[in-house]
Chain A
Amino acid sequence: MFLQPKSVEAALAMMAEPGARLLAGGTDFFPAQGEQVIEHPVIDISRLADLRGIATTPTHIRIGGAATWSEIVAQPLPRGFDALKAAAKEIGSIQIQNRGTIAGNLCNASPAADSVPPLMALEAEVELLSAAGTRRLPLGAFILGNRKTALLPGEMVSAILVPRNVAENASAFGKLGARRYLVISIVMIAVAMSLENGRVGQARIAIGACSAVAQRLAEAEAALVGCRKAEEIAGRLHAGHLAALAPIDDVRATAGYRRDAALILLRRVAAAAMLAAGN
């Protein structure tokens, strides 16, 4: 059964259908489906304009869950989103960015989902909508594990919310893959930072693909406070700051390589954020 609701309310009502699954850009959905016949009801939310827009509220920047990567890249946004835009421009290729959506990337919950570190570094929250109403979760509490989220039956991601004060921070993103495009990341890092009197006031650092769920690196963040120059950054960050990671050995890289690469990438991206902040 294929359902094309004309409104978000209609989509929520259809989600009562047992086994129903949402379809947005389909860029995770179809490749995972392969040759199998689709047996469950499918609800197409890719054409719901109400789920797509990007708006500024008094407290937050609100990105509709079905906004595509191309739409996000094209939208003028505060510089805290530079990291997210940099990640978006490398998601697959332009054809994928024209279809793939932000909520699809989060709900698919791949450890290598590129939008997660930039959004975590912005303290993003996920807005969940169901027939019963809405609730909000911090992104870190929404993604629970490899392919696991806190979505309850009947719920969809209606928006991603970023506090406006954090969105004003300078930000940078870096990812390492065997090639630049069409690869699954080996490690990716996003850094958002604010300066106070020419020194790092607060840094927010998130790292992906080195644990089942991307995570913030609180100790590395603390180590950067007070830093004055991009050149100082490398000396302030060391391997101990990555102790909480649990990188895996797989065809793309060994765990040891991932650890080494993560530290180098962390230093580079933090330095880039520092330069973006103006030092």
Chain B
Amino acid sequence: MPTVKMTVNGKPVSAEVEARTLLVHFLREHLDLTGTHVGCDTAQCGACTVHVGGKAVKSCNMLAVQADGAEVTTIEGLATGDTLHPMQEAFRDHHGLQCGFCTPGMVMSAIDLVKRKADLSEAEIRAGLEGNICRCTGYHNIVKAVQAGAAATRGR
């Protein structure tokens, strides 16, 4: 079995995995980082979004071995101790979630979006989150949360 080595949330990890192991299963089952969710098996829903090499990707759509040597950030890597990342805080403040299943992926996509362009219109936020599906909120509060999270991130 191949050995994969990568940096996950700032910590070096290494493990022997079957080559066919998807990155999302590696994170959830080998590293116990179950914040990253699996909502589909067709790369549609975005619940599994993580950052690989600083870019948002769907971790159900790549193998762990394809991330060998990469820097990976998951939802667990955002908070500093008990202090949430401003985007997480904004989702809480603005009720950007109901059941919470889509939330880790939404937050990871939102952070990636804000990183690419700091000042976003509502339409740009909606377009930028097209790869993430939420079946509860109707997106309205998610958009508000991302606007607030973007402002808070700028102000940091």
Query: B-contacting residues of A (Cβ < 8 Å)?
Result: 1-2, 4, 23, 25-27, 30-31, 34-35, 37-38, 42, 44, 46-47, 70, 92-96, 98-99, 180-182
Given contacts A94-B109, A99-B57, contact A31 B131 (CB under 8 A): no
Residues facing A in B37-68 (CB within 8 A) are 41-44, 46, 49, 55-58, 60-63, 65-66, 68
**Bound Cα distance from A1 to B44, whole angstroms:** 27
Determine the residue in chain A with the shortest Cβ distance to B46. Answer: A95
Return chain B residues, CB-CB under 8 Å to A46.
Answer: 66
A38 touches B109 (CB 8 A): no
CB distance from A267 to the nearest CB of B (A): 25
A26 touches B113 (CB 8 A): no
Return chain A residues, CB-CB under 8 Å to B89.
Answer: none
Return chain A residues, CB-CB under 8 Å to B62.
Answer: 26, 30, 99
B113 touches A27 (CB 8 A): no
SS class of chain A's interface: helix, strand, loop or mixed? loop
Range for the number of chain B residues in contact with chain A: 20 to 34
**Bound Cα distance from A34 to B68, whole angstroms:** 23
Interface membership of B19, Cβ < 8 A: yes
**Bound Cα distance from A234 to B94, whole angstroms:** 47
**Bound Cα distance from A146 to B130, whole angstroms:** 27
Interface membership of B127, Cβ < 8 A: yes
Return chain B residues, CB-CB under 8 Å to A47.
Answer: 66
- B20 CB contact (under 8 Å) in A25, A37, A181, A182: A37
Return chain B residues, CB-CB under 8 Å to A182.
Answer: 44, 130-131
- Most B CB contacts (10 A, CB to CB) among A1, A70, A94 go to A94
Interface membership of B71, Cβ < 8 A: no
B65 touches A95 (CB 8 A): no
Return chain A residues, CB-CB under 8 Å to B61.
Answer: 25-27, 30-31, 95-96, 99
Return chain A residues, CB-CB under 8 Å to B57.
Answer: 95, 98-99
A2 touches B130 (CB 8 A): no
- Given pairs A1-B19, A35-B41, 12 additional interface contacts (CB within 8 A): A2-B19, A30-B22, A44-B63, A44-B65, A46-B66, A47-B66, A92-B131, A94-B109, A95-B61, A98-B56, A180-B130, A182-B131
Return chain A residues, CB-CB under 8 Å to B113.
Answer: 94
